[in-house]
């Protein structure tokens, strides 16, 4: 299975990033060798993706939830060549439904784009190995990335021997100037 569409002779892709509710849907044209005119229109919505293409003169529309995609993979556009061009691809089991979200002739911004689209769409980040198989870049639990346990920090500051802040907030109690002393009086307790 290929992780990216087998077309690498088109213009590089850099989509405008949607911020909050503004900027949706993200609409762009993508190459599609099987479609009429060799092009399809892609619409990214917050919950799903819509593909528009024409086959044999008939308009086709496919709406696909992001949960149907495997994740976002980084792929080399020319794996055997000396070119450093890379792409961030929204990978589907069917290679014709995979969509390139970002591609560039250099690897400078690819990780930032990979993380952005992965977080925005809620899909895992995938790595393509030499054999062409996809594997998760980080272990995940649903949309959460699982990290290792962090050791507790030792306090090495000058304040480590001071009293805790809770005790500093308490007001100090005050004693009266002189406690009353009763002398020469009879006791209140009857000892008969």
In a domain, 146, yes or no: no
Q: What is the predicted pLDDT for the residue at 76?
A: 79
Distance in angstroms (rounded) separating the CA atoms of residues 67 and 89: 15
Asked if residue 102 lies in contact with residue 120, where contact means CB atoms within 8 angstroms, the answer is no
Mean pLDDT (10-residue bins), the chain, 192 residues: 45 82 89 89 94 93 94 82 83 91 86 90 84 78 72 68 63 73 70 60
Q: What is the predicted pLDDT for the residue at 50?
A: 96
Give the domain extent around 55: 26-137
Give the tens place of pLDDT for each residue, 111-165. 899 999 988 998 989 987 777 788 888 777 666 777 777 777 666 666 666 666 6
In a domain, 90, yes or no: yes
Q: What is the predicted pLDDT for the residue at 27?
A: 93
Encoded tokens for 81: 């060549």
What dihedral angle (degrees, nearest 10) is formed by the CA atoms of 131, 133, 137, 142?
A: -170
Work out how many domains the chain is built from and give that number.
Answer: 1
In a domain, 163, yes or no: no
In a domain, 1, yes or no: no
In a domain, 57, yes or no: yes
In a domain, 154, yes or no: no
Q: What is the predicted pLDDT for the residue at 61?
A: 95
Q: What is the predicted pLDDT for the residue at 1?
A: 41
In a domain, 149, yes or no: no
Q: What is the predicted pLDDT for the residue at 178?
A: 80
CA distances from 76 to 4, 113, 144, 170 (A): 9, 15, 27, 63
Q: What is the predicted pLDDT for the residue at 45?
A: 94
CA-based nearest residue to 30, from 56, 4, 48: 4
Q: What is the predicted pLDDT for the residue at 147?
A: 74
**Is 48 exposed, middle or buried (CB count within 10 Å of its CB: 0-12, 13-18, 19+)?**
middle
CA distances from 70 to 8, 90, 121 (A): 22, 8, 12
What region does 37 belong to: left with phi over 0, alpha with psi -120 to 50, or beta? Answer: left
What is the pTM for the complete model shown?
A: 0.66
Q: What is the predicted pLDDT for the residue at 52?
A: 96
Helix intervals (H) in the chain: 110-121, 165-169
């Amino acid at each position: 299975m290929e992780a990216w569409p087998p077309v690498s002779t088109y213009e590089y892709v850099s989509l405008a990033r949607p911020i909050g509710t503004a900027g949706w849907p993200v609409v762009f044209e993508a190459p599609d060798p099987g479609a009429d005119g060799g092009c399809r229109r892609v619409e990214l919505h917050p919950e799903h993706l819509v593909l528009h293409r024409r086959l044999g003169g008939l308009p086709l529309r496919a709406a696909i939830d992001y949960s149907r995609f495997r994740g976002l993979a980084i792929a080399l556009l020319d794996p055997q060549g000396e070119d450093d061009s890379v792409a961030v691809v929204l990978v589907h089991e069917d290679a014709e439904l995979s969509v390139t979200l970002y591609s560039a002739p250099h690897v400078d911004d690819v990780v930032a784009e990979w993380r952005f689209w992965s977080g925005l769409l809620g899909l895992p980040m995938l790595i393509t190995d030499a054999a062409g198989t996809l594997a998760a870049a980080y272990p995940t639990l649903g949309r959460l990335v699982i990290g290792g346990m962090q050791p507790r920090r030792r306090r090495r500051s000058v304040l480590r021997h001071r009293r805790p802040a809770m005790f500093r907030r308490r007001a100090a109690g005050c004693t009266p100037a002189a406690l009353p002393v009763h002398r020469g009086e009879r006791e209140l307790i009857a000892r008969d």
